[in-house]
């Protein structure tokens, strides 16, 4: 339970760092807002498929943000 809460908190923190809403994640990963909320609150374990989708969204968003900042310099 403690491990899942930590993962959920990390997911929420990363989503907020990237200025993404739960709706953004829902659309990109094909999961419901309720499921994401449960994961972020540590009440649900993300499946491997969802975890992979989340990592793809977070990595892509991070790369795009870096690319955009780099292009402006």
User: At which residue do the structure tokens 């739960």 appear?
Assistant: 22
**Which residue has better confidence, 10 or 64?**
10
Nearest alpha carbon to residue 27 among 63, 65, 54, 4: 54
Q: Write down the pTM of the prediction.
A: 0.73
Q: What is the pLDDT of residues 14-36, one digit of tens each?
A: 999 989 999 999 999 999 889 99
Closest listed residue to residue 57, CA positions, set 5, 14, 3: 14
Phi-psi region at 71: left, alpha or beta (left = phi > 0; alpha = psi -120 to 50) = alpha
pLDDT score, position 35: 93
Q: Is the pLDDT of residue 49 over 90?
A: yes
User: Does the structure show a pLDDT above 60 at 62?
Assistant: no
Separation of alpha carbons 46 and 41, rounded Å: 11
Most confident of 1-5, 41-45, 67-71: 41-45
């Amino acid at each position: 339970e403690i491990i899942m809460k930590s993962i959920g908190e990390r997911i929420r923190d990363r989503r907020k760092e990237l200025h993404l809403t739960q709706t953004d994640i829902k659309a990109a990963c094909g999961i419901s807002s309720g499921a994401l909320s449960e994961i972020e609150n540590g009440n649900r374990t993300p499946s491997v498929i969802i975890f992979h989708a989340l990592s793809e969204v977070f990595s892509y968003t991070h790369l795009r943000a870096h690319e955009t900042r780099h292009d402006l310099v």
